[in-house]
A and B are shown apart, each in its own frame.
Chain A
């Protein structure tokens, strides 16, 4: 009991300090911390995106006469502050989250407000967002989160220069992928760049292969914790395909030493030592800074993940990070203002155009023309079309699952890549993880 009181006091003090500090930068009153009439929107600190949110808040405040205010935190501090403050009087009215499993834990604790009534009142909210992205803001069929940032799907980057040298075309099916791998190997080129010292890069292969082989429902069963979901034949099949790729030398012999954070894989791909790189669309921005010549010379190509012959999954489905979401706190005293703010801002032209200007691809319908008029139109249009046509957008597994299960998953997957663990052993070990 005492510890709890101390914690909430400490949090309150910390929050007051932060709110006061941020109040100045967002243009609101400096003594905002003590004013409970303010409606607080909590989000991550992001120099490119925060000003867009601030200007949409100012527009809303000017039009409605309300006092909405943006409070921002850095990533790790945010996750902790949010969990501690939820359920206390210091909780925000609107909070930023990652959708999927992250949002579900707040819903289970009764801390997030369903937004279905709001959507019923403002039908354009649901009709304007891309369905596959909107879906990740749902828990048990109810909408709890609305997309507020751009989409970041995982795509297969191809080095056009290297493909031309080996006289092969980017693969559209798994069989073609295997042929391309063999052809590139014969030319002495590492077929696929993989930062295998970090499990999450390897996870992208499992995510896409299971999606193609078994369909998006297989991972939904895993998230739902259904019995035998990990031991499903399509999970085993996906892992076998991974081991097959490794044995063929698709990732080279030293992929397990390659690191993503020091650009080990991105550079391997950009310098033409490797031909393909399966990565989130954020790698485009990274290449733009680190290897601008690759993009300027038109050597950077990108294709959807290859289809799998006879697989149950839709080849148009994507995996990755669908978006980030705003949700309304269940015990907020200003729910009406908070909801009105979301309805007025998130699909407004000013907000959407702001995101596009910041280099994001918002999860909103009908923005093709705007994207085409901006820099890197070819890539942003590709990303947009990929997501807009996707029947499902599976969230990265390490975000959708609990932290403890994700940690076990990444370790075991590394062992599968290294052939230290058989697919069946992997399935059995994951079924036990909780």
Chain B
């Protein structure tokens, strides 16, 4: 009896909670958004079916090309900025020393703050007349403290604030992954005379490969849908200099009350996000879940 029950595969009932949960909170809303993208709706009353008008309007939207470009730029800049920082801090913080434990606790503080709080804090810090920007702007190429209001700088300033917010999270991933690398690998390398730098490139980095992929997927998909901090700092401005695609969708939907068109933008985002994560996972071989671990 016991052995038979052991051998039988788990039935559908086992998957039911997850399937129901995903259907109710994942599939159903996406279906609703797809439906809305074929309607005209200002958020009140009944949506009116207008066929593919919203989809053909995408081509004529003067902001869409720019906002897609800015989304890609923000994603690339975020990855280039956050990955090396998080990797280095994570590996460093994985060491057993007490001062590292204390300092990494401090590094993780931004993780505890909400995006809204971070946005309001940086708006005040970056005030050109009364914030830190007034004092330190001259060292950073803006003597008048004009950071968020400069069309050429605003998106990079935003990318830096996003990095400040999310590097701690990715650091946490790298820290825990580094701690799982078997100590015997380092001991063997030390016996062979490998230096710390050599050990980092020959052991740590290859062992962290899967973590790098996981962190990158989170980062790429995260940047693709990131908008709340931008909404609260610049609202996409000055002009449209920081209007990324998800923010464009939000402003169309909840500022202009064009829910139908905003839904078309949302569907576009879902498609691009899914595509991007599939491509990244395929390219890196992450889906095979191959382990490099000793004894695996």
Binding site for B on A (CB under 8 A): 3-4, 80, 83-84, 196-199, 252-259, 262, 264, 267-268, 273, 403-404, 406-408, 411, 414-415, 417-418, 420-421, 429
Tell me, rounded to whole Å, the shortest Cβ–Cβ distance linking B106 to chain A: 26
Known: A254-B144, A259-B123. A264 touches B238 (CB 8 A): no
Interface pick from B89-97, B148-156, B170-178, B223-231: B148-156
* Identity of the chain A residue whose Cβ is nearest the Cβ of B126 in the assembled complex: A257
Q: Which of A255, A262, A403, A420 contacts B151 (CB 8 A)?
A: A420
Tell me, rounded to whole Å, the shortest Cβ–Cβ distance linking A77 to chain B: 13
Query: Known pairs A262-B124, A417-B238, A421-B239. 6 more at Cβ < 8 A?
Result: A197-B235, A253-B144, A262-B127, A267-B130, A406-B256, A411-B236
Structural contact, B255 and A258, CB atoms closer than 8 A:
no
Task: Enumerate B69-90 residues with CB–CB distance to A below 8 Å.
Answer: none
Interface check B168, CB cutoff 8 A? no
* Chain B interface SS verdict (over half): loop
Residues from chain B with a CB closer than 8 A to the CB of A403 are 255-257
Structural contact, A404 and B129, CB atoms closer than 8 A:
no
Cα–Cα distance between A351 and B94 once the two chains are bound (Å): 69
Residues from chain A with a CB closer than 8 A to the CB of B151 are 418, 420
Residue among A198, A257, A418 with the highest chain B CB neighbour number at 10 A: A257
Cα–Cα distance between A199 and B145 once the two chains are bound (Å): 20
* Identity of the chain B residue whose Cβ is nearest the Cβ of A403 in the assembled complex: B257
Structural contact, A411 and B240, CB atoms closer than 8 A:
yes
Cα–Cα distance between A33 and B238 once the two chains are bound (Å): 48
Cα–Cα distance between A197 and B124 once the two chains are bound (Å): 13
Tell me, rounded to whole Å, the shortest Cβ–Cβ distance linking A431 to chain B: 13
Known: A257-B128, A407-B256, A408-B256. A197 touches B237 (CB 8 A): yes
Residues from chain A with a CB closer than 8 A to the CB of B129 are 254, 258, 264, 267-268, 273
Count A-B contacts at CB 8 Å. 91
Cα–Cα distance between A262 and B121 once the two chains are bound (Å): 10
What are 16 A-B interface contacts by the 8 Å CB criterion?
A84-B44, A197-B235, A254-B128, A256-B148, A256-B149, A257-B133, A262-B124, A264-B129, A403-B255, A403-B256, A404-B256, A407-B256, A418-B151, A418-B238, A418-B239, A420-B151
* Identity of the chain A residue whose Cβ is nearest the Cβ of B237 in the assembled complex: A414
Residues from chain B with a CB closer than 8 A to the CB of A259 are 123, 127
Q: Which of A4, A254, A421 contacts B46 (CB 8 A)?
A: A4
Interface check B104, CB cutoff 8 A? no
Cα–Cα distance between A254 and B129 once the two chains are bound (Å): 9
Cα–Cα distance between A257 and B129 once the two chains are bound (Å): 9
Binding site for A on B (CB under 8 A): 43-46, 62, 120, 123-124, 126-130, 133, 144-151, 234-240, 243, 251-252, 255-258
Structural contact, A404 and B258, CB atoms closer than 8 A:
yes
Structural contact, B146 and A407, CB atoms closer than 8 A:
no
Cα–Cα distance between A251 and B151 once the two chains are bound (Å): 17
Residue among B45, B46, B120, B126 with the highest chain A CB neighbour number at 10 A: B45
Tell me, rounded to whole Å, the shortest Cβ–Cβ distance linking B262 to chain A: 11
Residues from chain A with a CB closer than 8 A to the CB of B147 are 257
Structural contact, A257 and B239, CB atoms closer than 8 A:
no
Known: A411-B236, A418-B239. A196 touches B130 (CB 8 A): no
Cα–Cα distance between A414 and B239 once the two chains are bound (Å): 5
Structural contact, A404 and B149, CB atoms closer than 8 A:
no
Structural contact, B44 and A429, CB atoms closer than 8 A:
no
Residue among B127, B148, B234, B240 with the highest chain A CB neighbour number at 10 A: B127
